[in-house]
Amino acid sequence: MNAKMIYYENLANNLIERFNKRNIEGYYCANEDEAKAMAKRFLTPGCSISWGGSQTLDEIGLLDELHESDYVLYDRSTAKTPDEKSLMYSKTVTADYYFMSSNAISLDGQLINIDSQGNRIACLMAGPKHVIIIAGMNKIVTNVEDGIDRVRNMAAPPNAVRLGLKTPCAELGKCANCYEDDCICNHIVVTRRSKIPGRIKVILVGKELGY
């Protein structure tokens, strides 16, 4: 185990203690395969699953494995019309398990997320019975303010490029505090505590994942 891996594990263990004080369950996995195994360990036979847009979930291959499983999946990418999207969202909020990443996580255990439509952070706050967050250690920041800055200047610009959006950040590589129609920084939510103990589970991965 090299110095960086030891550092990640020590940092994660300290964060997990902070999570516990906030009714959030925290776990640490050294790599992507361990994280997938940990995530699937929580699932129950025949359960329903949905997820929010996440480069992290794509990178670790979790979504591919879910599509090959026997679970009931509510996949918003299959909805093509506004009516279908509305119906899919109504199913998503009833899911047994909701997967997502977090845009940033502060050293004191708060989750910082910025969203375009708000569907992802809405499900984080209420609806699905269980929320499982998978996040690389590159998402850790000093405090909430640094977390918001990280999302707007490090995560949103490449995400806008990936989605082919016409935002200033896609062109400039940094936030311009825009009001464009394509803006993906419309909702900012800080989760300081889970009202329901253990509803939110955070799996920290000793890798750099997502944006």
Q: Is the model's pTM score more than 0.85?
A: yes
Write down all domains in the chain, each with its CATH number in brackets. Answer: 3-205 (3.40.50.10420)
Q: What is the pLDDT of residue 114?
A: 94
pLDDT in tens, 80-125: 898 998 999 999 999 999 999 999 999 999 999 999 999 999 999 9
Q: How would you classify the pairing of strands 187-191 and 111-115? A: antiparallel
**Structure confidence at residue 77 as a pLDDT band (50, 70, 90):** confident
Q: What is the pLDDT of residue 85?
A: 87
C-alpha torsion sign, points 24, 27, 33, 37: negative
pLDDT in tens, 16-46: 999 999 999 999 999 999 999 999 999 999 9
